[in-house]
Structure 1
Amino acid sequence: MSYAPSSFRPLPFEQGPPRFDVGLAPIEPHAWLMPDDQAHWIGPKNQLMDAEPDAVFASITGSMPGQIEAAALVASACGQSFDPGEPPLFAASRLVSDDLVLMEMRDGAWTNTALCLCSPTFFSAHEAIGKSLFGLHRPVPGGDPGLGGRISRVFSLLRDELVLERHNWTVQWRDARYTPDGGPLRAAAAAAGLEEGREALHVRVERQTIRRLPETGAVLFTIRIRLYRLADLLGETALAQAFQQAWYEAGPEVRAYKKWESLERHVAALLGDYARNP
């Protein structure tokens, strides 16, 4: 089997605009969670978990066996142990920068039964809990039933020890990781002057993985967030050209779903600076 490389700086805009497809590729199992290149987030993440546990964690009845298996797998990958006094998925999430989402078959559909979500890209743990893949992907263009159905088939056909990875991207205002609601960021961008964009515009990359849990048959979905200041990326000619092409090639359905309206003038100004001073 050939494995996709797991780069420490994956920039998916190099492959074009955001795409609403499955896009999963196998990676080496040892590259699943370690090394954790975003480990600097673990400390602030734990502080957030201590301060707002009910906001970042949710579970439904019957998820405990899957949580226990998922937590054991994460702890083993990290070479650590988790606190047995906390919900297992919550405790395991303390060990890695990644958010952890447990998916299990319920009433014939893959359903979110537990999750710890500390770096959400504009949705909350309580919006996701109990939803099927179809419900989770309903807001995505073509997501329900199309994309949801394709991902469901992937989940159902997963083999033990196989780890699949994909990357997604967007642009956001400022560098916050805990963003359950994108409204305040969009409002800040709408009110900001163009001179603020150089510091505030960031590319947000989601690194997502899935793997099957052999004992329970559940699927563990992980999300690792990486943030890059857009102005820094535009300082590299090849990246600047790739981003500019991907940004302007993104269609209206992509722009609407990503809610880029408040960012358009800021990105255009920054790209204009790049064009004048490549």
Structure 2
Amino acid sequence: MTSFFPDRPPYRPFLSGPPKFKVGLKKIEAAEWLRPDPELQAGRAHGAAMLDQRFSEVFREIHGSAAAQAEARAMVESALNETAPEAGEPDLARARRMVSDDLVVMTAEDGEWRTAALALCQPTFFSAGHAIGKTLDGLHVPVPDGSPRLAGAIAHVFNSLAADAVFERFNWTVQFGEDRYTPDGGPLRAQAEALGPEAAADQLHLRVERQTIRRLPETGGVLFTIRIALDPLEPILRNPETGAALAAGWRGAADNARRYKRWDALEAAMEHLLKRENL
């Protein structure tokens, strides 16, 4: 299979500068929605393993979400031209076994969008239990200027999303280690600080979320997908095309972004690595 992204890392949002807290959506072709990429097998296998071993931790649903889940499963099946496995599970969990992406169904009730079901096998510092049933405002309270500004902007996008439109956006951060299942970043940060800057620097990774949204036209919901790409930082920093940009993105992040991402715990290790690479 020919990869759309022959080089690592496959996604490079840091080329656009430091992390930003805005919607930042880009319209893409439907054929690009769940296209194969270098993370497909790793993300798919990881999701299946998590559903097998820790189902109650990674899958949650609220009453009344079954129809939207079934529509989401059918949409994934159509995009991949495959049939979801008969796993004796809710439809969204079955769909998660087909893709490398975590899947979240959002539905609107009394004018508010909330999380109705999610298969969250590779969360970036939040959990399925935390997110289920929350409104957009509730989900974005911790984000700098997230509620009501960012949550309101996202609600506007959801309300006006055309049935045939697919949108994509990216988030990025720096993570200690290569764990995909990270509902809590505290243990990783503690490990990094315990090791000390020099040893921790060798285990720093770029963690990128590729997010997409699509309307569920029959039920009126929205399917939100999250694909994770994890890559060691050292090769990225050694590459002249990416090293300077990532260093600038790290150092140029606003104070509120650094606090939100808890980068202070990785500061010494990251600076050690940057200096080692003459950045």
Global fold match (TM > 0.5): yes
Question: CA offsets per residue over residues 109-139 of structure 1, 9 Å max, x none?
Answer: 0110000000100000010000011111111
Q: Which runs of 4+ in 1 moved over 4 A?
A: none
Equivalent position of 2:83 in the other structure: 81
Q: Is contact 1:197-1:270 (8 Å) kept?
A: no
Alignment partner of 1:116 out of 113, 116, 119: 119
Structure 1 portions without partners, runs of 5+: 1-5
After superposition, where does 1:163-242 map in structure 2 within 5 Å?
163-242=166-245
After superposition, where does 1:124-143 map in structure 2 within 5 Å?
124-143=127-146
In the TM superposition, residue 7 of structure 1 has moved relative to its aligned partner by: 5.8
In the TM superposition, residue 241 of structure 1 has moved relative to its aligned partner by: 0.8
The two structures have a TM-score, normalised by structure 2, of 0.94
1:246 aligned to 2:270? no
1:258 aligned to 2:255? no
The two structures have a TM-score, normalised by structure 1, of 0.94
Q: Is contact 2:177-2:188 (8 Å) kept?
A: yes
What CA distance in whole angstroms lies between the structure 2 residues aligned with 1:37 and 1:76?
21
In the TM superposition, residue 36 of structure 1 has moved relative to its aligned partner by: 4.0
Question: CA offsets per residue over residues 31-51 of structure 1, 9 Å max, x none?
Answer: 100224312222232111111
Question: CA offsets per residue over residues 114-166 of structure 1, 9 Å max, x none?
Answer: 00000100000010000011111111010000000000000000001100000
What CA distance in whole angstroms lies between the structure 2 residues aligned with 1:124 and 1:163?
25
Equivalent position of 2:32 in the other structure: 31
Q: Is contact 1:213-1:219 (8 Å) kept?
A: yes
Question: CA offsets per residue over residues 202-245 of structure 1, 9 Å max, x none?
Answer: 01000000000111111000000001110010111131110111
Q: Would you say how many aligned residue pairs link Structure 1 and Structure 2? A: 271
For residue 39 of structure 1, what is the amino acid of its counterpart?
L
What CA distance in whole angstroms lies between the structure 2 residues aligned with 1:200 and 1:71?
36
For residue 184 of structure 1, what is the amino acid of its counterpart?
P
In the TM superposition, residue 193 of structure 1 has moved relative to its aligned partner by: 2.5
Equivalent position of 2:63 in the other structure: 61
For residue 136 of structure 1, what is the amino acid of its counterpart?
L
Equivalent position of 1:3 in the other structure: none
Question: CA offsets per residue over residues 74-117 of structure 1, 9 Å max, x none?
Answer: 11212211234210001100000100000000121011000000
Q: Is contact 2:47-2:96 (8 Å) kept?
A: no
1:95 aligned to 2:98? yes
For residue 218 of structure 2, what is the amino acid of its counterpart?
E
Equivalent position of 1:14 in the other structure: 15
1:72 aligned to 2:74? yes
In the TM superposition, residue 174 of structure 1 has moved relative to its aligned partner by: 0.4
Structure 2 portions without partners, runs of 5+: none
Q: Is contact 2:85-2:97 (8 Å) kept?
A: no
Q: Is contact 2:166-2:212 (8 Å) kept?
A: yes
